[in-house]
Structure 1
Amino acid sequence: MLVTLNGEQREIAADNVAALMSELDFTAGHFAVSLNYEVVPRGQWAETPVAAGDEIEILTPRQGG
């Protein structure tokens, strides 16, 4: 299915956030996932579906001020 991932159109096979993170090899580290402008808590990734046309952002923390 076609989604927007970090501002770019991308074809994915995953049907939920957890499967998407695995498909993209984001299995460790500190990052957050926003699905249609709402942050999805890590504990809810497996039950949060991803649908065609969704806008997904993978966010990483940055230091600075």
Structure 2
Amino acid sequence: MVEIQLNGEKRQLASPLLTDLIAELNLSQQAIAVAVNRQIIPRSQWAEHQLRVDDKVDVVRAIGGG
């Protein structure tokens, strides 16, 4: 188990892979940005990015407007 902070709240993860977290949140098909410890992780790197204990993960959804 890996414990991280997700948008400021503690969360336990069974898998350390960023893609697994995104899938668990049902956000795989959403227009989102993900930062780990204030570093943006490009979508192309999600599958290989491993989260570590106490990582601070921020997930932000893009909202269209005009």
Identity %: 31
Instruction: List gaps (5 residues or longer) in structure 1.
Output: none
Matched to 1:35, the amino acid is V
Report the count of equivalent residues: 65
What is the match of residue 30 of structure 1? 31
Query: What is the RMSD computed on CA atoms of the aligned residues?
Result: 1.6
- Which structure features the higher share of strand residues? 2
Could you tell me the TM-score, scaled by structure 1's length?
0.86
**Cα distance in 2 for residues equivalent to 1:14 and 1:8:** 17
1:45-65: CA deviation from partner (whole Å, max 9, x where unpaired):
01111011100000112456x
> Secondary structure, in 3 states, of the residue corresponding to 2:20?
helix
Give structure 1 regions of 4+ aligned residues with deviation exceeding 4 angstroms: none
**Cα distance in 2 for residues equivalent to 1:14 and 1:28:** 20
What is the match of residue 51 of structure 1? 52
Instruction: List gaps (5 residues or longer) in structure 2.
Output: none
Could you tell me the TM-score, scaled by structure 2's length?
0.85
Alpha-carbon offset, residue 43 of structure 1: 0.5
